[in-house]
């Protein structure tokens, strides 16, 4: 009984989220935006904020090295992103194992190219670590949306 209630709640939340995104993009000047792109932006904006908060705690307060703080905050935020995008945004019912494997591949590429490459590189050159993370996040967003829409949660 409790499991059925949980599944119904998830479907209700997913329906509400989808309805909000579809309604928003029907208004000018947003008609050219795909509803799941808006959903991705909302979800990943939230998880990016989680990432920055964790980064601040881990590096700024607990003084972990930047690479360790970036890694731990990144993994936490992207785990949350996978769950929310799968459930609310892309509403996938495909087997999660295969999707998770594709997702892990995408975040591995993303991690080395954008987070350590761009974010860590800019911080190493003296740019403030929050700003370097935000700049890396711009490229990361485009890459991850593309990977999630056309690879991880692709529809048959």
pLDDT for position 53: 95
DSSP for 101-112, written as a single string: HHHHHHHHHHII
Q: What is the DSSP letter of 13?
A: H
Instruction: List Cα–Cα distances, 148 to 17, 27, 96, 140, in angstroms.
Output: 18, 25, 13, 12
Cβ(55)–Cβ(69) below 8 Å: yes
Q: Rounded to two decimals, what is the model's pTM?
A: 0.80
Nearest to 85 by CA among 34, 144, 43, 146: 43
pLDDT for position 31: 83
For 47-89, how does the pLDDT look when each residue is reduced to its tens digit (9 = 90+)?
989 999 999 999 999 999 988 998 899 899 989 999 999 999 9
Which residue shows structure tokens 């987070």?
115
Which residue shows structure tokens 């003296």?
126
The ranges assigned to domains in the chain are: 2-152
For 20-48, how does the pLDDT look when each residue is reduced to its tens digit (9 = 90+)?
999 999 987 878 888 999 999 999 999 98
Cβ(35)–Cβ(21) below 8 Å: yes
């Amino acid at each position: 009984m409790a499991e059925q209630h949980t599944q119904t709640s998830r479907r209700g939340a997913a329906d509400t989220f989808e309805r909000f995104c579809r309604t928003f993009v029907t208004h000018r000047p947003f008609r050219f935006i795909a509803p799941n792109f808006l959903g991705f932006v909302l979800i990943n904006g939230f998880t990016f904020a989680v990432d920055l908060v964790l980064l601040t705690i881990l590096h700024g307060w607990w003084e972990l090295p930047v690479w360790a703080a970036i890694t731990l905050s990144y993994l936490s935020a992207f785990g949350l992103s996978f769950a929310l995008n799968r459930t609310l945004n892309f509403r996938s019912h495909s087997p999660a194992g295969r999707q998770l494997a594709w997702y892990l591949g995408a975040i591995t590429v993303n991690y080395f190219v954008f987070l350590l490459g761009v974010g860590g590189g800019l911080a190493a050159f003296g740019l403030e670590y929050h700003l370097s993370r935000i700049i890396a996040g711009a490229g990361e967003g485009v890459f991850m949306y593309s990977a999630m829409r056309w690879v991880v949660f692709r529809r048959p």
